[in-house]
Structure 1
Amino acid sequence: MQLYRYGGSQGLLGENSWQIAPGDIHIFDFSSEFYSTASDSSVIGVVIPHEYIGYDPARHPSHMVFRGNTSTGKFLTNTLLALFGELPNVKMEDADDLSKGFCGLLEGLLKPQEPSGAGERKHREDRRNEMRSFLNRNLSDPNLGVGNLCRQFNMSRPSVYREFAETGGVANYIVQRRLERAYYQLASVPEGARRIKEVAYGVGFNDPAHFSRLFRRRFGITPRQAASLDGAGRLTRLQQERPKNGSVNFGQLSEWLQSI
């Protein structure tokens, strides 16, 4: 929790930016990675463990601000200044009660920050979309997995698993998105412009042979056949090649390609 008495700061946490003006109270989750720059300033602040104020990274935002021109902001500013002014006189036997009272105040102020009902559902949906977007942006990382989501969104592994239960888990979601991206890259560039191995490595697969097996299982054709599809969904050089069961509908594959 920080209060700038004069000067200011600006920074970035995730995809959200902020600016701190004198008199504003800002609360950061220090377990999240953020970047900031500050002008010549005077700052007072306190560092408080999550559990002391009932903060839950899965439910509360990583950054909260109470502007100095609001009633709540003024109240927090006066309380923080009074606390720091009284610290030199506080006796050890009173310190515990004083800290509990201050933390209880902050815990009460955090309650309105908690999403509830429809708001909670919207919050979870937005977070789920952000997690999927994060994975989609980082598919080329062969080590991408649950641990990345835990660190990026300050969530426990069980919480992450729950968010991806309907997609068959995080690993399955990543594999399916990688295969879809590979299909798009193979079928959307001129034949021979990209090697299949390059595409496999580029979307995060370490083993091209394993990639080819998964690709055929998902789409019913090989990566080589996908690379031979022209823009209308017809086979060019490999036009006569078909799976033995003859079940692949290349027109449907083309329509699907144009939709992703």
Structure 2
Amino acid sequence: MTKGVLVSRSSLGGFRAFPGQVAVTRFAHDYCDDYSAGEWIAAMIPRHALPALGVTPAIRAPSLLSGAKAGLFADYLLSLVQRLHDADPSELPAIAEMTRVMIVACLTGDASVTQMPAERSIVMRERVDRLIRDNLGSARLNPERICALAGISRSSLYRMFEDRGGVAAHVQALRLKRAYAELSNPHSAFETIANLAAGHGLHNTTAFNRAFRRHFGCTPGEVRGAALRADPVPPERACSPPQSFADLLR
């Protein structure tokens, strides 16, 4: 909390938080919160991001953290919000890793759990995924370039994307999904299909059309035409849409 008072109640327990205090809770149970002119900083952590926290007593029930560790973590969160405005995008992966270490050290008392091999792999994969998404429009985005940006070896990169059919297939799929989403938007009709594809790193028009049809089952022109008519493609020619809202954001 940075301002006001927070009262949280659930079947597992409750707490009253004041400015400067750190509260921990989960979304896996029902709860009711009451705020009094409250302002707060929230860090929402997916379970897969820090699996070591799943057995941490501090998060089994809603609670307030106490002691010097909690105070230092509160100070870090306040500073983090202020400093992020000035952070260079290249610094964000390191800042995210620092935040993970702070969270685990505060909740478990043992920062070494952040060095678990499985968890390091998750962190690295997320970092590489972010680098790929941020550079999809670059014609230079090949395995060598990704390795250079991420600071990893080619063998590590290939292992990382084995379950996605390989890194090249993953990059191609992301590019095609972005192109599909833009072709489905009538407001993008002023852009030629070739220029639109090139903007997503697909510079060979013939190869793009072939890959698009193979991936979605219809042509880019059919997708654009359906969007302009506000008429979906017939079921027998239906294109596979992006898998989720998160995919559209990538």
Normalised TM-score (structure 1): 0.49
What does residue 200 of structure 1 align with?
197
What does residue 92 of structure 2 align with?
15
What does residue 247 of structure 1 align with?
236
CA distance in 2, matches of 1:224, 1:205: 16
What does residue 129 of structure 1 align with?
126
What does residue 179 of structure 1 align with?
176
Amino acid in structure 1 at the alignment position of 2:133: N
Give 3-state SS (helix, strand or coil) of 2:186's partner. Answer: coil
CA distance in 2, matches of 1:232, 1:113: 57
Q: 2:185 aligns with which of 165, 183, 188?
A: 188
What does residue 145 of structure 1 align with?
142
CA contact (8 A) 1:131 1:149 kept: yes
CA distance in 2, matches of 1:176, 1:121: 25
How far off its partner does 1:149 sit? 2.3
1:179 and 1:17, CA in 2 relative to 1: closer, same or farther beyond 3 A? Answer: closer
Amino acid in structure 2 at the alignment position of 1:144: L
Are residue 227 (structure 1) and residue 224 (structure 2) matched? yes
Are residue 168 (structure 1) and residue 165 (structure 2) matched? yes
1:113 and 1:180, CA in 2 relative to 1: closer, same or farther beyond 3 A? Answer: same
How far off its partner does 1:230 sit? 2.9
1:123 and 1:208, CA in 2 relative to 1: closer, same or farther beyond 3 A? Answer: same
The CA deviation string for residues 231-252 of structure 1, in whole angstroms up to 9 with x for no partner, is: 89624xxx7xx6xxx72236x7
* Count of residue pairs the alignment pairs up: 149
How far off its partner does 1:152 sit? 2.1
Amino acid in structure 1 at the alignment position of 2:164: T
Between structures 1 and 2, the one with greater helix share: 2
What does residue 213 of structure 2 align with?
216
CA contact (8 A) 1:11 1:17 kept: no
Amino acid in structure 2 at the alignment position of 1:249: A
How far off its partner does 1:164 sit? 0.8
What does residue 72 of structure 1 align with?
none
How far off its partner does 1:16 sit? 5.4
Q: Which runs of 5+ in 1 are unaligned?
A: 1-9, 19-60, 63-111
1:16 and 1:204, CA in 2 relative to 1: closer, same or farther beyond 3 A? Answer: closer
1:113 and 1:154, CA in 2 relative to 1: closer, same or farther beyond 3 A? Answer: farther
Give 3-state SS (helix, strand or coil) of 1:194's partner. Answer: coil
Amino acid in structure 1 at the alignment position of 2:238: N
How far off its partner does 1:115 sit? 4.7
CA contact (8 A) 1:179 1:215 kept: yes
Amino acid in structure 2 at the alignment position of 1:193: F
CA contact (8 A) 1:150 1:157 kept: yes
CA distance in 1, matches of 2:177, 2:212: 9
1:161 and 1:256, CA in 2 relative to 1: closer, same or farther beyond 3 A? Answer: closer
CA distance in 2, matches of 1:150, 1:191: 33
How far off its partner does 1:17 sit? 6.9
The CA deviation string for residues 126-179 of structure 1, in whole angstroms up to 9 with x for no partner, is: 210110111011110011021222222221111111101111111111100000
CA distance in 2, matches of 1:123, 1:232: 48
CA distance in 2, matches of 1:11, 1:203: 26
How far off its partner does 1:189 sit? 2.8
CA distance in 2, matches of 1:145, 1:183: 21
Q: Which runs of 5+ in 2 are unaligned?
A: 1-85, 99-110
CA distance in 2, matches of 1:257, 1:16: 24
CA distance in 2, matches of 1:123, 1:175: 26
How far off its partner does 1:120 sit? 2.5
Larger Rg: 1
Give 3-state SS (helix, strand or coil) of 2:226's partner. Answer: coil
Amino acid in structure 2 at the alignment position of 1:203: H
